[in-house]
Amino acid sequence: MTSASGATKLWGGRFSGETDPLMEAFNESIHFDRRMYAADIRGSQAYAKALCKQGILTADEQQALDSGLTAVLAEWQAGTFELRSGDEDIHTANERRLGELVGSVAGKLHTGRSRNDQVATDMRLWLRDEVNALLGFLRELVGALVHRAEADIDVLMPGYTHLQRAQPIRWSHFLLSYAFWFQQDAQRLEQFLPRVAQLPLGSGALAGNPFQVDREWLAQELGFSSVTPNSLYGTSDRDFVAEFLFHCSLTMIHISRLAEDLIIYSTAEFGFVQLADAYSTGSSLMPQKKNPDSLELLRGKSGRVFGDMSGFMMTYKGLPSTYNKDMQEDKEPMFDAVDTLTGSLQITTAVIATLKVNAGKMKQSLTGDMLATDLAEYLVRKGVPFRQTHHISGAAVKMAEDRGCQISDLSVADLKTLHEAFEDDVLLVWNFEKSVDNRSSIGGTSRVTVQGQIEHLKLWLN
List active site positions. Answer: 162, 283
- SS3 sequence of the chain: CECCCCCECCCHHHCCCCCCHHHHHHHCCHHHHHHHHHHHHHHHHHHHHHHHHCCCCCHHHHHHHHHHHHHHHHHHHHCCCCCCCCCCCHHHHHHHHHHHHHHHHHHHCCCCCCHHHHHHHHHHHHHHHHHHHHHHHHHHHHHHHHHHHHHCCCCEEEEEECCEEEEEEEHHHHHHHHHHHHHHHHHHHHHHHHHHCEECCCCCCCCCCCCCCCHHHHHHHCCCCEECCCHHHHHHCCHHHHHHHHHHHHHHHHHHHHHHHHHHHCCCCCCCEECCHHHCECCCCCCCCCECHHHHHHHHHHHHHHHHHHHHHHHHCCCCCCCCHHHHHHHHHHHHHHHHHHHHHHHHHHHHHHCEECHHHHHHCCCHHHHHHHHHHHHHHCCCCHHHHHHHHHHHHHHHHHHCCCHHHCCHHHHHCCCCCCCHHHHHHCCHHHHHHHCCCCCCCCHHHHHHHHHHHHHHHC
